[in-house]
Amino acid sequence: KGLGGIVNMRDFEKTAKEMLSAVGWAYYSSAGDDEITKIANNTDYQKVTFRPRILRQVAKADAATEILGHKSTIPVMISPAAMAKLGHPLGEVNLTRGAGTTGIIQCISSFASCSLEEICAARSPSQPLFFQLYVNSKRDLAAEVIKKVNKLKLDAILLTVDAAVGGKRERDLRLKGSFEPPSTGAYEKHEDTKGVSEAMFAGVDPDLHWDDIKWIRTQTDLPLLVKGIQTVEDAVLAYKNGADGIVLSNHGGRQLDTTSTGLHTLLEIRKHAPYLLRPEYRGQTGVSQALLDNPENLTPPDLKDAKPLDRKFEIWVDGGIWRGTDVVKALCLGANAVGVGRGFLYAQTVGGDKGVEHAVGILQSEILLVMRLLGANKVEDLRPSMVNVKE
Ligand code: FNR
């Protein structure tokens, strides 16, 4: 199918649904129980409205940013999502190529269907790649995977913590889909009788603990982020336990159903632990503090009493991001970047690496449009005062 008719990210979803096998569609689209969190991930963004500023000379707007010090064309990365080959024969390699040519960052799943070697062979020179880690209950297997990640010079590890056990994904269970085991070596083969996701989680250690972060640190010098933080308490614990950042995520609604969303957790952090945010993002939403302090002053400076943390700590958000407006809202509220999971899986299903390129192009033009209409020329210009949040 041509990509010409695809004008937004949801178009990829509609087209992919027609192209995927029943098992593939069930696995990609499924979420926990009644899929309430999956829907909320998207609709929660409607609680945030923009406060556009005008006449700000936006001809030269630029959506580029840095993620963990790596350049990225847009403040969006490819969230780790398993089994890309269910959608397209080249699987994760499509994501690697598409990310390479467009200059964005891909995070590879522990359950990728291509091997790490295959993925790294498709990597363009100095292309950053992150790795998502599930820790196997057999620590020697986990150690092997981390060793490989070090050897292949990947750039960061995201430890997923919202999946002590796999969620109850009923679309999957109904089909009891057959699947080829992932090739990253993250776990062993086993009998496939329970649907794709249940079979995959069999090796993941439900006894993982904060102390395991120390163990991972002994195995690698790479930046380590904790993915799947859903409360401000755990955001603070991740910081205290030495993480380089967190991903506010509920796994695309695929784990515990009726949890709150990444966006909601970001709001919790704003309220109860604002010191985790970069100083200029700790201000209130709505009418800017600077304006309240001094009505003459229309350019919000950093808040007076805001001190930086003792080290860099990035906050990413994923789940339900389909539009440039979603991306920009999360950034206004203090996220350094966001992740997109299903959107990119569907894009590679529909058009392989070209589909991924097309998806990045769509997101980039939407983000630029939003920034211009909002009065922001650079990603760093986005501020809490540019949004209102409905309680
Ligand atoms: C995921 N996700 C995921 N996360 C992770 O840490 N390891 C994994 O192997 C997977 N696998 C996976 C498979 C599929 C099919 C999906 C849809 C998702 C979760 C993923 O990283 C991310 O958190 C969500 O996909 C974000 O939500 P959206 O963008 O899909 O709404």
pLDDT tens digits for range 288-325: 777 676 655 544 344 445 677 888 999 999 999 999 99
User: Which pLDDT score is estimated for 299?
Assistant: 42
Query: Would residue 162 show up in a list of annotated catalytic residues for this protein?
Result: yes
Pocket test for ligand 1, best of 342, 344, 346, 348 (most atoms within 8 A of CB): 342
Q: Is the CB of 42 under 6 A from ligand 1?
A: no
Q: Is the CB of 318 under 6 A from ligand 1?
A: yes
How many Å apart are CA 163 and CA 333, to the nearest integer?
Answer: 26
Find the helix packing angle between 262-272 and 324-332, rounded to 10°: 20
User: Which pLDDT score is estimated for 267?
Assistant: 97
Q: Phi and psi of 382, rounded to 5°?
A: -70, 140
**What atom of ligand 1 comes closest to residue 160's alpha carbon?**
6
- Residue 100, pLDDT > 80, answer yes
| ipTM, 2 dp | 0.99
Query: Would residue 381 show up in a list of annotated catalytic residues for this protein?
Result: no
- Residue 281, pLDDT > 90, answer yes
DSSP symbol at 82: S
Q: Is the CB of 320 under 6 A from ligand 1?
A: yes
Query: Would residue 88 show up in a list of annotated catalytic residues for this protein?
Result: no
- Catalytic site residue from 134, 187, 281, 346: 134
Q: Is the CB of 179 under 6 A from ligand 1?
A: no
- Residue 177, pLDDT > 70, answer no
The dihedral formed by the CA atoms of 379, 381, 386 and 387, expressed in degrees to the nearest 10: 30
Q: How confident is the model at residue 382 (pLDDT cuts 50, 70, 90)?
A: very high
- Model pTM score: 0.94
What's the whole-number mean pLDDT along residues 334-356?
Answer: 98
- Residue 60, pLDDT > 50, answer yes
Tell me the average pLDDT of the chain.
Answer: 92
User: Which pLDDT score is estimated for 303?
Assistant: 45
Q: How confident is the model at residue 283 (pLDDT cuts 50, 70, 90)?
A: confident
